[in-house]
Amino acid sequence: MNQHMNKNEDSFINKHPLDQETLFLVSQTFKALSDPTRIRILNLLCSAEHSVNELAERLNLGQSTVSHQLRFLKQLRLVKFRRAGTTLYYSKDDDHIMNLLNQAIEHATHN
């Protein structure tokens, strides 16, 4: 067993059989996190909500590209939105995924 796992991780991993739905959801989560554009969007949404236009401007991407990626992330319930007039503001919807993303970023930047 990996010595770096804490008790909580050790108590869940390998002790619960993975049904097809769980396997699918886990694979979709990693699919979501495998795309650089989606990672950039989630990284911005970790700290604050943003409109589609704000995200597009901050990431130097087209609004349609950002909207497409947000739709994918919303389907997985990784982001949520609220409407203010005609503007949609997106924010994170799952702290577990944001923690996973943070850990991946820390791992990638660890020297």
What whole-number distance in Å separates Cα of residue 49 and Cα of residue 88?
A: 10
Q: Assign 33 to helix, strand or coil.
A: coil
Element (H, E) at 84: strand 79-84
pLDDT values of the chain reduced to their tens digit, one per residue, 111 residues: 445 545 555 556 667 788 999 899 889 999 999 999 999 999 999 999 999 999 999 999 999 999 999 999 999 999 999 999 999 999 999 898 899 999 999 999 986
pTM exceeds 0.85, yes or no? no
CATH of 22-109, one of 1.10.569.10, 1.10.3720.10, 2.60.40.10, 1.10.10.10: 1.10.10.10
Element (H, E) at 97: helix 95-109
Residues β-bridged to residue 87:
84
Q: Would you state the structure tokens that stand for residue 17, as one six-digit string?
A: 């059989």
